[in-house]
Structure 1
């Protein structure tokens, strides 16, 4: 995890932070990274006839910021012996100001307890989903009752087998492997890797063949073999990345599953009682409007564990520093 040098921790009011903040402090310390703890207070208006910016609302806003800053400073005081922790209070809408802070200060990791709205069967609220979609750096959303140390980590990887070597996808997979293996080693957790494949043209092949069953089976086996070969190359890449000794200690489990990733990955996370899923959220870069894939969004909406979501280099956030 030494790749992180500038970490942002989002400490929303009314959410317990002791365990999550302790993890962020420990990560910053082990990575020799800077750590900033931030919260966002809403814009305050003194009343319907007094819009924001007037003398009364300005004073109310200043008081709210000062009060929240004092609370954050109290929150981080027990950890200051580990190194200087910066505190900042922003004003505006949570996800917008957090993403702007990431862009402005070049944070390379965002850690935030999940909103966990009680009125829906979903761990991540709308603000969390906005951050997952649009934040340019890796986003680590934690369960409010997260464990001090993870026991099971699931890393989801994908391959583009139809085109020339895809350096963007390779880079994304490398980040996922590095983060998942590093956390598994530091937490003494088991590491499970999953790649979901399918044979989308099976019915077409069957419809055109003289022997539909034989042709269909041959096509499916050919697709499975292609994905298995790519998965095996990733296995070798992970061994080279972390070293044989660490690899033999981890003994990562590789799971090649046929089906739809949007169904298989949440089901597997549930079956394994996974504490953390590490996954990519987009495979194309440089397009400001393309910030998350439909499959990734469907997966995230179903997960009930912490998630570390990664975007490839070159991702462009649609959020501007000022509007």
Structure 2
């Protein structure tokens, strides 16, 4: 995990930041990283915040606005002091605006290399709510949402991989997933499952009677796809042989959107490390469909990374309070 030097820690009241505190402290010390704590006043921006207090003219809306910001800043400083007391270099910033937009702008402006936060407190059921999903979709740096009772240490980690060495973007992303998952598992003393779901495209259609394709031919294509996929997986994990003592490699037939959530539930996985491969270089294409489906069916902690060249749809503008 020695790759994060400029960590953004979302410590607002809507996030279960307490869950992330120990993890942030460990990360900062392990990486000699600077941590920036942010809180965001949820409004349309400074102008809307000021207008919101216009019903109390005798007090003065500017005075109220200043006091509201001061309270947020004081609470943030209290949280920062707890980290500073443990030797962590901490800065604080109060943002004003739509939280996920301002948080992503902070990432872009200050070039943070990791965003970490506790899960949104309003979360119900096995889904990430809109606030967290916006960050998972649109934030350009790795995003770590902590939602596991195992924190501050993971016990069971799943690395979701789909190696394809003919695709440079996917290869880079898959290796990053493995690097993060293996180093995290080693640091936490956790067990790691490397899961690769494979399938033959349109196998069910080819087996349909209307297709008139001999069953033996379909079986042969399935066997070849399995062998090719297995070879790619073994080539990938061979690069991480030093982690064989904590790593289990699983090559499972099925759609990743089904296989991963099922494995998480069956094996008690508390942390998933996964890539969110989408078309790169085009603003507005946020996340791959498979990744989003998986995220909508799990409730454990998730560390996601984007493909190189990902362009966030959030523009770099606005500022901090």
2:21 alignment partner in structure 1 = 21
Distance in 2 between the 1:79 and 1:279 partners? 28
| SS of residue in 2 equivalent to 1:296 | helix
* C-alpha spacing 1:312/1:320, structure 2 compared with 1 (3 Å): same
The answer for the alignment partner of 1:181 in structure 2 is 182
1:291 to 274, 282, 286: 286
Deviation at 1:65, TM superposition (A): 1.4
Instruction: Report the equivalent of 2:265.
Output: 270
Per-residue deviation at 1:281?
1.0
Q: Report the CA distance between 1:133 and its aligned residue.
A: 0.5
- TM-score, with length taken from structure 2: 0.89
Specify the alignment match of 2:11 in structure 1.
11
Asked if residue 249 in structure 1 is aligned to residue 245 in structure 2, the reply is yes
CA distance 1:18–1:194, shift in 2 (3 Å): same
Mapped contact 2:286–2:312 kept (Cα < 8 A): yes
Unmatched runs of 5 consecutive residues or more in structure 1: none
2: CA distance between counterparts of 1:8 and 1:255?
33
Q: Does residue 235 in structure 1 map to residue 237 in structure 2? A: yes
Post-superposition shift, 1:313? 1.6
* 8 A Cα contact 1:12 1:39, kept in partner: yes
| 1:100 positional shift | 0.3
Bigger mean CA offset, 76-85 vs 32-41 = 76-85
1:117: which partner in 2? 122
User: Could you say what secondary structure the match of 2:250 adopts?
Assistant: strand
Does structure 2 conserve the Cα–Cα contact (< 8 Å) formed by 1:117 and 1:123? no
Question: Please, what is the CA RMSD of the aligned residues?
Answer: 2.3
Matched, 1:190 2:191: yes
Deviation at 1:290, TM superposition (A): 1.2
2:76 corresponds to 1:80: no
Deviates more, 1:60-69 or 1:191-200: 60-69
Instruction: Please tell me whether the aligned partners of residues 161 and 174 of structure 2 are also in contact (alpha carbons under 8 angstroms).
Output: yes
Cα distance change, pair 146–88 in 1 and its aligned pair in 2 (3 A)? farther
**Quick one: distance in 1 between partners of 2:111 and 2:49?**
31
Alignment of 1:6-85 (within 5 A): 6-13=6-13, 15-43=15-43, 45=49, 50=54, 56-81=60-85, 82-85=87-90
Which of 310, 313, 321 matches 1:315?
A: 310
Find the aligned partners of 1:68 and 1:205 in 2 and give their Cα distance: 60
User: What displacement does 1:32 show?
Assistant: 0.8
Q: Distance in 1 between matches of 2:309 and 2:143?
A: 16
Give the TM-score normalised by the residue count of structure 1: 0.89
Structure 2 distance, partners of 1:48, 1:248, is 58
How far is 1:213 from its partner? 2.1
Q: State the shift of 1:56 in Å.
A: 3.6
- Find the aligned partners of 1:298 and 1:16 in 2 and give their Cα distance: 23
Q: Is the 8 A contact 1:116 1:125 kept in 2?
A: no
User: Conserved in 1, the CA contact under 8 Å of 2:278 and 2:286?
Assistant: no
**Is contact 1:109-1:139 (8 Å) kept?**
yes
